[in-house]
């Protein structure tokens, strides 16, 4: 089976940094995705990691440790528009994406 | 139109009604997916199609019936639903049926069963 855990909610101040952790236990692994979903909207792709290490894309970075079954998404210089749900998803190498329940990030002024 | 579109965006139906959800992708992708998203729960994969052939039926009740007439269109036919089927139904597509491709999601249909 697949088990993907991430915190339910996080709150941070505008301009700050927030780190969203994701741990996974899956029968197979061929990469980990992060998606952003604003309320009432479609999830949109943020990042994909398949090798260990840090991938940086502007204000957002994603880290993966395959040996630890662990990833995090780092959001820097938080803006109000970053208030959203962040979904961690693991692909088993076939076509199936297994999702975590999502982390709702609230950015306060 | 670009990306993945879904209609209707909101749907309220009684338990005895029959309705259909429509998804269309304008990306030239070969794979399409239906997901169910309930509050505070992970997205649940329901059905997967590759080049109009169903490759996954994830133990979904028969009151949900998918149809993929071509690689750009995907339908979810609904009949005799239960209140617990109320959820956001998301359609997605990807270039091919391989797990390392990003999936592109539509905005979803918010379904309420009364």
What value does the mean pLDDT of chain B take?
93
Instruction: Assign 3-class secondary structure to B19-30.
Output: EEEEEEECCCCC
CA A31 to chain B, closest CA, distance in angstroms equals: 7
What pLDDT is recorded for position B87?
96
Chain B residue closest in CA terms to A97? B99
Q: Residue B62 carries which DSSP code?
A: T
∠ CA B78-B66-B1, nearest 5°, is 95
Beginning with the edge strand found earlier in the chain, give each strand of the sheet holding B18-25 in spatial order: B4-7, B18-25, B73-79, B64-70
Question: Which of B19, B3, B45, B16 has the alpha carbon at shortest distance from B111?
Answer: B19
Tens digit of pLDDT for each residue in A62-107?
A: 999 999 999 999 999 999 999 999 999 999 877 888 999 999 999 9
Contact criterion met (CB < 8 Å) for B100 and A31: yes
Confidence of residue A54 (pLDDT cuts 50, 70, 90): very high
Number of H helices, E strands in chain B: 0, 11
Chain A residue closest in CA terms to B103? A45
Instruction: Please answer whether residues A93 and A38 qualify as being in contact, where contact means their C-beta atoms are separated by less than 8 angstroms.
Output: no
Q: Which of A95, A97, A99, A104 to mutate to test the interface with B (most CBs of B within 10 A)?
A: A95
What pLDDT is recorded for position B76?
98
Q: Which residues of chain B have pLDDT under 50?
A: none
């Amino acid at each position: 089976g697949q088990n993907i855990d991430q915190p339910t909610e996080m709150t941070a101040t505008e301009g700050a940094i927030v780190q969203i952790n994701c741990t996974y236990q899956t029968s197979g692994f061929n990469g980990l995705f992060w998606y952003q979903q604003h309320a009432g909207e479609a999830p949109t792709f943020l990042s994909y990691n398949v090798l260990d290490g840090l991938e940086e894309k502007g204000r957002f970075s994603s880290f993966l440790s395959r040996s630890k079954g662990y990833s995090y998404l780092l959001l820097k210089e938080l803006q109000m528009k970053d208030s959203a749900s962040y979904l961690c998803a693991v692909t088993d190498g076939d076509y199936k994406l297994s999702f975590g329940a999502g982390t709702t990030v609230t950015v306060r002024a | 139109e670009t990306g993945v579109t879904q209609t209707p965006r909101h749907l309220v139906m009684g338990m005895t009604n029959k309705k259909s959800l429509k998804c269309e992708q304008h990306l030239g992708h070969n794979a399409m997916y239906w997901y169910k998203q309930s509050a505070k729960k992970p997205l649940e994969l329901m059905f997967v199609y590759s080049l109009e052939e169903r490759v996954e039926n994830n133990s979904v009740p028969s009151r949900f019936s998918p149809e993929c007439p071509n690689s750009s269109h995907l339908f979810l036919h609904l009949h005799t639903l239960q209140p617990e089927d109320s959820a956001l139904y998301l359609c997605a597509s990807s270039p091919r049926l391989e797990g390392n491709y990003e999936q592109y999601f539509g905005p979803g249909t918010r379904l309420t069963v009364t």
